[in-house]
Amino acid sequence: MFEITFKCKALRKDTDPTKNHNWVEGYYVKHLTVTPSPIWPNKEEDRKRLEEEYNALTKHYVFRDGFSDWNMENELEQIEVDGRTLQFCAGVLVPIKGYKYKHPLFQGDVVEIDATKELGVVVWCKDIAAFIIIRKEHVKYNDGYPQLNLSNPQDMLRIVSDVAPVTYVGSVFDKLRGRTND
């Protein structure tokens, strides 16, 4: 069975940017904590104010299996995450730079092409319905989220299904917490 998983940065109660805000992987849920009124105001400024209030009341969660030992009941773990760092799994495992194990590749991950040592970013291309890797310097951002800007087809480094010679380096979202992967 194919599982659709996501990766996000976990929210922590502290606001210290030097502390590690770990990535969590699992099943994503966007939860509006109130039921919105079906009657929207007519005035534009009232509509914007209401949308901002609803955005403030929206929570983002990743659910995953919790810890259990043999023959013990397994609890479902609910982790509140930063919805701005949501990444969709591309369904491919690649090596991690400096480690011997492999990592699932997600949209927004930064990878190094082993043959050329170029950095690329995994993005979704709706025109060909596939994840592709484009040169890091050609990625455009919309609200901090990587968007495909493929004005020149030579910017595309490869389609993700051909990713054997790449190594995972980091994520474009690491800079949201004070880290960078430049």
Q: What is the pLDDT of residues 142-180, one digit of tens each?
A: 666 666 665 555 556 666 655 557 888 888 877 644 444
Q: Measuring CA to CA, which residue among 166, 180, 178 is closest to residue 119?
A: 166
> Alpha-carbon distance 5 to 70, whole Å?
25
| DSSP structure class, residue 126 | T
| DSSP structure class, residue 96 | B
Does residue 91 belong to any structural domain of this protein? yes
Does residue 1 belong to any structural domain of this protein? no
> Alpha-carbon distance 61 to 33, whole Å?
12
pLDDT band at 24 (very low <50, low <70, confident <90, very high): confident
As for how many domains the chain has, the answer is 1
pTM for the predicted model, two decimal places = 0.71
At 2 the pLDDT is: 67
Does residue 33 belong to any structural domain of this protein? yes
Q: Which two tokens stand for residue 12?
A: 């922590």
Does residue 68 belong to any structural domain of this protein? yes
Domain span at 166: 6-177
Under 8 Å between Cβ of 170 and 181: yes
Does residue 182 belong to any structural domain of this protein? no
